[in-house]
Amino acid sequence: MTVSSDADRQIALIVEVQDLARELGIQVWLRGGWAMDFYLGRITREHADVDWFAWAQDAPALTEAFSARGFVRLAQAPVEQQLDYAAGGVELGFAFLALDPEGHVIVAGGPWAGARWPERMLETPPGRLGGLSCPIISPEAQVEIKLMTPTWMPHRPRRAKDVEDVERLLEAMTR
């Protein structure tokens, strides 16, 4: 697949967010389509945005750092659940994680606060794309999330790209 200028801008922001996370001493993980591409080691399709996970406790530091860099805050989800930004024509979404008393990764806020994310979601080696490396959620978690989203959120039917993503991930996981 030929890399578009949108993909170039998105990849540049992935690098910028990773650099920022390192500077702040916080953790972030790619999720969604870019996590899949970093897992597979190739760009599989055009992406509308760049999705991340971050710890809820790091939201204030992220907010301050993004504001200082001129990122525009978008009001798309409950702030305790996710922060959304735009930079250079690219949307970035940071869904927040927390730990329950037993140490399971859970949704930090919003209507699904306290719901558990897939087991070992954050326990996977970084993904690679070209010469870049980035923390990603596990492919198993990616598949579970893409399969379960219409159940968890009935107003959001399964999209064709999600079906294709699941097929790609399952094929790569069985190699």
Alpha helices in 53-155 (DSSP H): 59-68, 139-152
Average pLDDT over residues 58-77: 92
Q: Is the pLDDT of residue 153 over 80?
A: no
- The band of 175, judged by pLDDT with boundaries at 50, 70 and 90, is confident
Average pLDDT over residues 56-66: 95
pLDDT at 119: 93
| pTM of the entire predicted model | 0.92
102-107, Cβ contacts within 8 angstroms, sequence gap of 24 or more: 107/81
pLDDT at 162: 87
The CA-to-CA distance between both ends of the chain, in Å, stands at 22
pLDDT at 67: 93
Please provide the average confidence, as pLDDT, over all residues in the chain: 92
Give the number of other Cβ atoms within 10 Å of residue 42's Cβ.
13
Domain ranges of the chain: 5-138
* Cα three-residue angle 85-77-25, rounded to 5 degrees: 50
Give the number of other Cβ atoms within 10 Å of residue 98's Cβ.
16
Q: Is the pLDDT of residue 59 over 60?
A: yes
Q: Which fold has domain 5-138?
A: Beta Polymerase; domain 2 (3.30.460)
Residue 107: beta bridge partners?
A: 97
pLDDT at 3: 58
What is the spatial distance between Cα 169 and Cα 73, in angstroms, rounded to a whole number? 32
Q: Is the pLDDT of residue 2 over 60?
A: no
Q: Which amino acid is at 19?
A: D
Average pLDDT over residues 10-31: 96
Average pLDDT over residues 141-165: 85
More confident residue, 151 or 123: 123
Secondary structure string (H, E, C) spanning 38-77: HHHCCCCCCCCEEEEEEEHHHHHHHHHHHHHCCCEEECCC
- The band of 4, judged by pLDDT with boundaries at 50, 70 and 90, is low
Sorted by sequence, the CB contacts under 8 Å of residue 49 that are 6+ apart come out as 10, 32, 90, 91, 92, 93
pLDDT in tens, 76-135: 777 888 999 999 899 999 999 999 999 999 999 988 899 999 999 999 999 999 999 999
